[in-house]
Structures are given as structure tokens and as C-alpha cells.
């Protein structure tokens, strides 16, 4: 029996795949103009879902980090542009440094969403 990553590697364009939606409701707070989504690769599908649920008038930017770049996958339908920066590391200080370096300038009225213990470093 194949594990999920082996199965995904064998998928070809045109193959049918079924997906279960995330458990619970992903509520998007549309009160800010700018949104920074920060999380690791295991939450990538949730970041795509949050991105899809925010108003199209919002400016959304993401930081996604992982131990290797082979784990990243694009949004399923590509209808919602998700501008993001990929960080290949799981070392907290390196992640924070990269976020500070690549954070869009002039972020007024912004909400950051992601892993709480990482936010205290940023």
C-alpha cells in the first residue's frame, strides 16, 4: 500500500482526486487591509483556504517554511493568487530573519496569522 506522498508523486495530469475539507470552520477576519499568513508546510492547505476566504480587495502575503522544498504544492485550482515567500529551514531565528527581510514595506492596518510562538519573535 502506498503512503500519501508516494501516491501524490504518481498522480498524472487528468487523474481524479477527492479532497476532504479541513475540519472546523476557517473564519477569515476581513477587518484589516493587509494580511500576513505565516506557517509551516503542514498548514499550506489551510493557508490556501484562508486566502480564498478573504475579500479579493485585501492584500495577502504569506511565509511558508519547511525543511526541504520538495514538499510544496500549488493551490488546487489557481483561482486565488497567493503571493508568498518560501523559506527552506525550520530554524526559528532563520525564519524570523527571512520574514523581516522579505516583509512587504509600509504595512499599515495589518493582521498576521500563523504559529503563535513564532509571532513573539517577529
In tens, the pLDDT along 59-114 reads: 888 888 888 877 777 777 777 778 888 888 878 888 888 888 888 777 777 777 76
Cα–Cα distance measured from residue 13 to residue 34, given in angstroms and rounded to the nearest whole number:
35
CA distance 94 to 115: 15
Contact between 69 and 86 under an 8 Å Cβ cutoff? The reply is yes
**Tens-place pLDDT, residues 12-55:** 888 877 766 656 666 667 888 888 888 888 888 888 888 888 88
DSSP string, 79-116: -S--EEEEEE---HHHHHHHHHHHSPSS--SEEEEE-H
DSSP character string of 29-70: -TTSSEEEEEEEGGGHHHHHHHHHHS-TTSEEEEEEEES-GG
- Which domains are present in the chain? 31-119 (3.40.50.80)
CB contact at 8 A, 83 and 48: no
Report the distance separating Cα 75 and Cα 113, nearest Å.
Answer: 19
Query: For the whole prediction, is pTM greater than 0.75?
Result: no
Amino acid at each position: 500500500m502506498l503512503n500519501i506522498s508516494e501516491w501524490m508523486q504518481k498522480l498524472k495530469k487528468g487523474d481524479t482526486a477527492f479532497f476532504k475539507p479541513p475540519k472546523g470552520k476557517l473564519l477569515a477576519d476581513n477587518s484589516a487591509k493587509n494580511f500576513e499568513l505565516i506557517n509551516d508546510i503542514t498548514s499550506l492547505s489551510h493557508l490556501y483556504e484562508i486566502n480564498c476566504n478573504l475579500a479579493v480587495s485585501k492584500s495577502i502575503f504569506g511565509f511558508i517554511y519547511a525543511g526541504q522544498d520538495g514538499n510544496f504544492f500549488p493551490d488546487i485550482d489557481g483561482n486565488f493568487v497567493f503571493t508568498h515567500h518560501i523559506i527552506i529551514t525550520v530554524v526559528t531565528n532563520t525564519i524570523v530573519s527571512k520574514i523581516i527581510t522579505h516583509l512587504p514595506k509600509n504595512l499599515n492596518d495589518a493582521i498576521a496569522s500563523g504559529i503563535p510562538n513564532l509571532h513573539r519573535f517577529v
